[in-house]
Structure 1
Amino acid sequence: MRIARFAGDDDPQFGVIGDEDGVATIGVLRGDPLYAGLDLSGQKVPLDDVRLLAPVIPRSKVVCVGKNYLRHAAEMGGEVPDEPLIFLKPNTSVIGPGEPILYPGQSSEVHYEGELAVVIGRICREISAADAEKVIFGYTVGNDVTARDLQAKDGQWTRAKGFDTFCPLGPWIETSLDPSDLAVTTMLQGETKQDGRTSDMVFSVPDIVEYVSSFMTLLPGDVILTGTPDGVGPMEVGDTVDVTIEGIGTLTNRVLARG
Structure 2
Amino acid sequence: MTTWLRFLDFDGCAGIGTLDLNSGHVTQHYGTLFARPRRTEVSFVAEDLHLLTPCEPTKIVALHAAATTPIGASGRSRGPELSYCIIPALSIVGPDASITLPKQWDSRVRCNGRLGVVIGRSTFGVSVKQAVDAIFGFTCLNQVDAVGCPGQGGPDSRIQHDHLPTSIVSVGPAIATANHRSSKQAFRITTAVGRLNRRFYSLDILTSSLADTISLLSREVALEAGDVIAYGPRFELGPLVGNMRAEVTIEGIGTLANSLAL
What is residue 9 of structure 1 aligned with on the other side? Answer: 10
Shift of 1:231: 4.1
What is residue 172 of structure 1 aligned with on the other side? Answer: 174
Structure 2: runs of 5 or more not aligned = 68-79
Shift of 1:159: 5.4
Shift of 1:194: 2.6
Shift of 1:233: 3.3
Identify if the C-alpha distance between structure 1 residues 233 and 160 changes in structure 2 by more than 3 Å, giving closer, same or farther: farther
What is residue 29 of structure 2 aligned with on the other side? Answer: 29
Identify if the C-alpha distance between structure 1 residues 206 and 232 changes in structure 2 by more than 3 Å, giving closer, same or farther: farther
What is residue 122 of structure 2 aligned with on the other side? Answer: 123
Shift of 1:27: 0.6
8 Å Cα contact 1:93/1:164 also seen in 2? no
8 Å Cα contact 2:123/2:224 also seen in 1? yes
Which of 216, 223, 233 does residue 228 from structure 1 map onto? 233
Identity fraction in percent: 27
What is residue 111 of structure 1 aligned with on the other side? Answer: 110
What is residue 93 of structure 1 aligned with on the other side? Answer: 91
SS in 2 for 1:237: coil
Larger radius of gyration: 2
Shift of 1:181: 2.8
Deviations 1:127-170 (A, max 9, x none): 23344221111110111111121166566572599649911100
Correspondence 1:33-182 to 2 at 5 A:
33-35=33-35, 37-58=36-57, 60-68=58-66, 83-108=81-106, 109-150=108-149, 156=157, 158=160, 163=165, 166-177=168-179, 180-182=185-187
1:101 maps to a residue whose letter is: I
SS in 2 for 1:230: coil
SS in 1 for 2:149: helix
Taking the aligned partners of 2:123 and 2:256, their CA distance within structure 1 comes to: 28
Identify if the C-alpha distance between structure 1 residues 162 and 52 changes in structure 2 by more than 3 Å, giving closer, same or farther: farther
What is residue 187 of structure 1 aligned with on the other side? Answer: 192
Per mean C-alpha deviation after superposition, the further-off stretch among 167-176 and 146-155 is 146-155
What is residue 252 of structure 1 aligned with on the other side? Answer: 257
Deviations 1:14-66 (A, max 9, x none): 011126xx63111101122213x1311221111122111110111x3221101
Structure 1: runs of 5 or more not aligned = 70-81
Correspondence 1:181-220 to 2 at 5 A:
181-199=186-204, 204-220=209-225
1:16 maps to a residue whose letter is: T
Taking the aligned partners of 2:171 and 2:31, their CA distance within structure 1 comes to: 20
User: Normalized against structure 2, the TM-score is what?
Assistant: 0.80
Identify if the C-alpha distance between structure 1 residues 216 and 192 changes in structure 2 by more than 3 Å, giving closer, same or farther: same
SS in 2 for 1:197: strand
Taking the aligned partners of 1:183 and 1:161, their CA distance within structure 2 comes to: 35
SS in 2 for 1:206: helix
Larger helix proportion of the pair: 1
Taking the aligned partners of 2:216 and 2:171, their CA distance within structure 1 comes to: 23
Shift of 1:196: 1.9
Taking the aligned partners of 2:92 and 2:153, their CA distance within structure 1 comes to: 22
8 Å Cα contact 1:144/1:161 also seen in 2? no
Taking the aligned partners of 1:173 and 1:83, their CA distance within structure 2 comes to: 28
User: Normalized against structure 1, the TM-score is what?
Assistant: 0.81
| Number of aligned residues | 240
What is residue 70 of structure 2 aligned with on the other side? Answer: none
